[in-house]
A and B are shown apart, each in its own frame.
Chain A
Amino acid sequence: MTKEICQFLQDPHCTSGWSPKRWSNLIQQGYANRSLAQIAELISQYQLMGSIPPDLHWHINAARTYHESHKHGVVQEIHALYRALGFAQITPILLKGAAYLAAGLNVGKGRVFSDIDAAVKREQLTPAEQSLHWHGWSNMNKDDYDQHYYRVWMHELPPFVNGASGGVLDLHHTIVPPISGRAPALRDFSTQQVEFKGLTLTTFTPAAMLLHSAVHLMFEEDFSKGFRDISDIHLLASEFTELDGFWSELIEQAQTTGFEREVGLALRYSQHFFATKIPTKYSTSFNKHLPSRLILWVYDILFTELLKPVDCLTTKSRIASYTALIRGHLKKMPLHVLLYHTWHKITVSRTKKEKE
């Protein structure tokens, strides 16, 4: 039987006539997949509280309370970031969770995330970093190798931590590692301005947002939050499909940046789990870029395992997880760099253990 969480995210109305046990399952799956606050938002949006057994109401209310506090923290971090970078006349582009929240999207309602992600142009990295340091952020990875890893190969600087709040910030200059040979320039992504809590903030446009989310998912090597990531794609697509010209802009952006295959795959798995509605004209166009049949067969096995919703007893297939780990790394860096990186990580962890 399809898990309650997939049915619910696909169409919250499907819950009419649910038994108390099914509601209870939904809540437990919400905890397991870190989406209970998102479920709580949908419950209030669709006015479903009355159908939920009263003994379970507190889960929904408590999840909203927790999310309110999370949101409060995020708003403060965004304000602090804008103050710090404004000092260097740099306007960052908010990415992922912070952007979903700032743009008031459905996917952002109740979504809990650990870091703030933002991007600046590559040539702005140095002044942005200096300004962050002056305003109380510091770099988390001090190790020489990690510094090299991030600064030379990766698409982001080593994570920053805000000394006053403890919040973590990832500062990007593009969306995938330059060492992968596939990094587009930040200017290839169209941006928009949104009003949020007294600030004018910059985010990607809807098409660029979905593109980024899809690329991020398909370059991932750690799928512990796999279900949340694929439900992001579904919620973004379901909201944006209402906008005029969204799908054609998505195709255009995917073409410019060379990520048609990633978008195609992400939409494929979103449809697999949530029957996401995509106009036939556009889905045929994305399907053209999918891998060959054999590879697609392997991918389907791999990604349906990695992206499935989990529960208390789920242990994801180890073979799938290791395959994803290697695949994700190989997408991020060429083989010779990966071998060097792996060799370094193994020897370093060994010497660290010896020191202990």
Chain B
Amino acid sequence: MTRDHEAFVTYRAGRFNFRLFTSISRLKETVSQIYAPLDPDNIVDFEIAVQPQRWYRPQVTFKFQQTEPFLPLPANQAYPLLEWGMNWCVTQHCHQYLIIHAAVLEKNNKVIILPGSPGSGKSTLSAALCLLDGWNLLSDEMALVDTTSGLVFPSPRPISLKNASIDIVSQFPCAKQITPSVKDTTKGTVAHLVAPCHRSFSIDQGYPAVAVVFPTYTPTSTCNRLNPITVGNSFMRLIENSFNYHILRQVGFDALGQLANACGHYTYPNNGNFSESFALLNELIR
């Protein structure tokens, strides 16, 4: 065995077990604060390494086994790099699910899916729903749609907050667990928020989706309103937001069809008035 053999931590993040090899002690500390540690002899899904390189302008690299999917980043970005790396592991390998880039929230055993490109305000909205309105976070980044049942499976991990939304969310009364902000990443300043879990919900259970809502943050808009769109329109947009539709092919088409047929579909231009958002989204899960 090579160097740093003992320098690892095994933990559960969402539905998956990771073994992280790292010599960065601060990173190990952050990880053990955020994720549940596992016995080192536990089975693992992904063995990953985040290691420093270069002594001048130090950098960190992310590796899953022998694959390095990203360019190295400045050393202070180790934790965001780890989070992005873990997302990559899931989206590239977990083909038991159709994976859609979306936040997923649950209340009353019903799920709404918020697909959205960066800047759509889905993370801020998710944080608000979890912290202020009693929703459970199933996932901040990806909807895991079971290909046989069409149900959405939870894989809760910290919400990735960017730029102005860090200040907004940190003022919420129960926003206790936010990692320190990391500046100048490719996504600007980022911080990660651990969302509270309200009722005991089972990570082994799939939940039926009732609505697909495409949020767009439009500060100038005067009213918050859900605009219904057709299933077909939404279906095509979901494919665009999916990571592995092209790999699943027929199976992906069927799973997505099953999910989409059971849902209402809306676009949601909103101005960040949370209390109006809560009222509208609670209507969907009544």
Contact = CB atoms under 8 A, between A and B. Distances in A.
B249 A312 contact: no
B230 interface: no
Contact of A53 (B4, B43, B63, B95): B43
A67 B2 CA distance: 31
Contacts of B5: 313
A23 B249 CA distance: 29
B63 A65 contact: no
A65 B65 contact: no
B21 A62 contact: no
A21 interface: yes
B237 interface: no
A16 B148 CA distance: 30
A21 B43 contact: yes
B49 A313 contact: yes
A190 to B, nearest CB: 36
Contact of A65 (B45, B66, B248): B248
A59 B47 CA distance: 13
A31 interface: yes
19 contacts: A24-B43, A28-B47, A28-B65, A31-B65, A58-B94, A61-B95, A62-B93, A65-B247, A66-B93, A66-B247, A69-B249, A224-B66, A310-B65, A312-B21, A312-B47, A312-B49, A313-B1, A313-B4, A313-B49
Chain A binding surface SS class: helix
Given A53-B43, A69-B249, A62 B65 contact: no
A239 interface: no
A55 interface: yes
B48 interface: yes
A267 to B, nearest CB: 26
Contacts of A311: 47, 65
A50 to B, nearest CB: 16
Contacts of A69: 246-249
Interface in B229-273: 246-249, 251
B44 interface: yes
A114 to B, nearest CB: 14
Interface residues of B, number: 27
Contacts of A136: none
How many interface residues does chain A have, given as a range? Answer: 20 to 34
A28 B249 contact: no
A330 B70 CA distance: 33
Chain B binding surface SS class: loop
Contacts of A66: 93, 95, 247
A32 B66 contact: yes
A23 B43 CA distance: 8
Given A21-B41, A55-B43, A62-B96, A313 B249 contact: no
B161 to A, nearest CB: 30
Looking at B43, B95, B96, the one whose CB has the most chain A CB atoms below 10 A away is B43
Interface string B95-128: 1100000000000000000000000000000000
CB-based closest 6 A-B pairs: A32-B65, A24-B43, A62-B95, A312-B47, A65-B95, A69-B247
Interface in B9-67: 19, 21, 41, 43-45, 47-49, 63-66
Nearest to B7: A313
Contacts of B94: 58, 62
A2 interface: no
Contacts of B63: 312
A254 B50 CA distance: 46
Contacts of A55: 43
Nearest to A61: B96
A312 B246 CA distance: 28
A126 interface: no
A61 B148 CA distance: 13
Contacts of B47: 28, 311-312
B96 to A, nearest CB: 5
